[in-house]
């Protein structure tokens, strides 16, 4: 069997055991994309509008954005599940169109919902996937045991996967994508923690960190700003099919001043007057957050500038900037909410 098995949106790509790594690509970017565009439907709604990406080996790269921003479409193009209308992309050194089979042998893809056979045990799921990659019975049994231990599933190995918690199913799904030997160079995780409780999310984060530490390149899509902040070496903020900003979490936060001065205002008129310069809006409490470098001099200057009469600000507080502030500042194209 040459190509991996795809199971719809919840695909986990099996890895061909014969995959080899070209030494000439070892130090190159593991994922490269230039000018990717994609439109859907009779009205040709443009989902991607010129996406450029470059992801280095052994790193976690996050595509962060809301539903409909183009995250999943980008992953589907890079994983060879759909073709871009224009642009080029290479994954693990291979062109995603011309070298489709080689790309598939080099990747694992985990979608938003766990793609495991719930009637089989965890062990049976992994042994089945190992056999599909060409392993013999003994090697499949050995590989399944290794992955069950690695993903802390040994105690549940002989239970039907349908009895697993959401977090356990996600770990089993990730393990199923790693059954090949060698393991995939590139892991695509499309919103892998959707629907998980906080403890299960933390456990999955630990797995993702371990995979990167072992040398895998991880491209993670997420709607959760906290997730991108904790996991990603670099983050691309995607909005309406375009990259709005890219950098480390610290880089992106610095673009909105590094800190946020929250102003609780005394009137609707003052709120509306200042809303245009804010990165955080809370019309219910008449509170606005304005970027600042956090220094006393800048905070004093902002207070004097925004409230020259001393009547518009009831109280203020200073906070470190978050990715929420970056997201709101760089992706919001709509007028601030009215009160």
**pLDDT(269) > 70:** yes
**pLDDT(5) > 70:** no
Q: Which H/E stretch holds residue 220?
A: strand 217-222
> Is residue 338, in this structure, part of any structural domain at all?
no
**Same domain, yes or no: 196 and 311:** no
**Same domain, yes or no: 177 and 241:** yes
**pLDDT(9) > 70:** no
Question: How many other CB atoms sit within 10 Å of the CB of residue 121?
Answer: 21
What's the confidence (pLDDT) of residue 52? 96
Instruction: Tell me which of 247, 282, 317 is where a domain ends.
Output: 247
What is the tally of structural domains in the chain? 2
> Is residue 243, in this structure, part of any structural domain at all?
yes
**Same domain, yes or no: 154 and 303:** no
Spatial strand order of the sheet with 45-55 comes to 45-55, 31-40, 86-91, 94-95
**pLDDT(270) > 60:** yes
> Is residue 135, in this structure, part of any structural domain at all?
yes
> Is residue 339, in this structure, part of any structural domain at all?
no
Instruction: Tell me which of 220, 247, 274 is where a domain ends.
Output: 247
> Is residue 40, in this structure, part of any structural domain at all?
yes
What's the confidence (pLDDT) of residue 107? 93
**Same domain, yes or no: 35 and 90:** yes
Chain segment 13-41, per-residue pLDDT in tens? 333 333 333 433 345 789 999 999 999 88
More confident residue, 11 or 142: 142
**Same domain, yes or no: 272 and 317:** yes
Compute the average pLDDT of residues 120-131.
94
Compute the average pLDDT of residues 234-248.
91
**pLDDT(45) > 90:** no
DSSP string covering 145-163: HHHHHHTT-GGGTTSBGGG
What's the confidence (pLDDT) of residue 286? 93
pLDDT-wise least confident of 31-35, 70-74, 333-337: 333-337
**Same domain, yes or no: 326 and 212:** no
> Is residue 193, in this structure, part of any structural domain at all?
yes
More confident residue, 56 or 255: 56
**Same domain, yes or no: 89 and 162:** yes
CATH number at 185 reads 3.40.50.300
> Is residue 272, in this structure, part of any structural domain at all?
yes
DSSP string covering 13-65: ----TT----GGGTTS-SEEEEEEEEEETTTTEEEEEEEEEEE-TT-EEEEE-
Chain segment 172-216, per-residue pLDDT in tens? 998 998 888 778 899 999 988 888 888 888 888 988 998 899 899
**Same domain, yes or no: 235 and 263:** no
Mean residue pLDDT of the chain comes to 84
**pLDDT(331) > 80:** no
User: What 3-state DSSP class applies to 287?
Assistant: strand
**Same domain, yes or no: 145 and 179:** yes
pLDDT-wise least confident of 13-17, 52-56, 80-84, 147-151: 13-17
pLDDT-wise least confident of 80-89, 231-240, 285-294: 285-294
Contact criterion met (CB below 8 Å) for 161 and 116 = yes
**Same domain, yes or no: 227 and 264:** no
**Same domain, yes or no: 113 and 205:** yes
Instruction: Tell me which of 215, 247, 279 is where a domain ends.
Output: 247
What's the confidence (pLDDT) of residue 336? 40
Compute the average pLDDT of residues 64-80.
91
Compute the average pLDDT of residues 218-227.
88
What's the confidence (pLDDT) of residue 114? 67
> Is residue 219, in this structure, part of any structural domain at all?
yes
Instruction: Tell me the C-alpha distance between 129 and 11, whole Å.
Output: 12
**Same domain, yes or no: 240 and 97:** yes
What's the confidence (pLDDT) of residue 293? 82
Q: Give the domain extent around 263.
A: 255-331
């Amino acid at each position: 069997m040459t190509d991996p098995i795809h199971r719809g949106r919840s695909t986990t790509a099996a890895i061909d055991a014969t995959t080899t790594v070209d030494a000439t690509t070892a130090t190159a970017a593991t994922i490269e994309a230039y000018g990717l565009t994609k439109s859907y439907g009779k009205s040709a709604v443009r989902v991607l509008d010129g996406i450029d990406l470059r992801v280095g080996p052994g790193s976690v790269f996050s595509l962060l954005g809301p539903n409909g921003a183009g995250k999943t479409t980008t992953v589907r193009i890079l994983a060879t599940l759909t073709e871009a209308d224009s642009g080029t992309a290479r994954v693990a050194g291979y062109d995603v169109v011309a070298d489709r089979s080689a790309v598939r042998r080099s990747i694992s893809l985990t979608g938003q919902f766990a793609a495991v056979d719930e009637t089989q045990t965890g062990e049976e799921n992994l042994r089945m996937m190992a056999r599909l990659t060409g392993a013999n019975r003994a090697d499949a049994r050995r590989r399944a045991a290794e992955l069950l231990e690695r993903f802390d599933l040994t105690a549940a190995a002989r239970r039907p996967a349908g009895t697993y918690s959401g977090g356990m199913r996600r770990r089993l799904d990730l393990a199923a994508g790693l059954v090949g030997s060698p393991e995939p160079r590139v892991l695509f995780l499309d919103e892998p923690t959707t629907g998980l409780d906080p403890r299960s999310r933390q456990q999955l984060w630990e797995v993702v960190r371990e995979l990167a530490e072992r040398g895998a390149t991880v491209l993670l899509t997420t709607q959760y700003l906290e997730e991108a902040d904790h996991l990603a070496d670099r983050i691309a903020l995607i909005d309406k099919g375009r990259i709005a900003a890219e950098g480390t979490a610290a880089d992106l936060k610095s673009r909105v001043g590094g800190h946020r001065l929250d102003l609780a205002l005394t009137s609707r008129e003052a709120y509306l007057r200042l809303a245009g310069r804010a990165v955080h809006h809370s019309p219910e409490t008449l509170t606005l957050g304005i970027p600042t470098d956090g220094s006393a001099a800048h905070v004093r200057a902002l207070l004097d500038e925004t409230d020259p009469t001393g009547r518009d600000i009831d109280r203020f507080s200073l906070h470190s900037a978050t990715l929420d502030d970056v997201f709101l500042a760089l992706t919001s194209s709509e007028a601030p909410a009215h009160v």
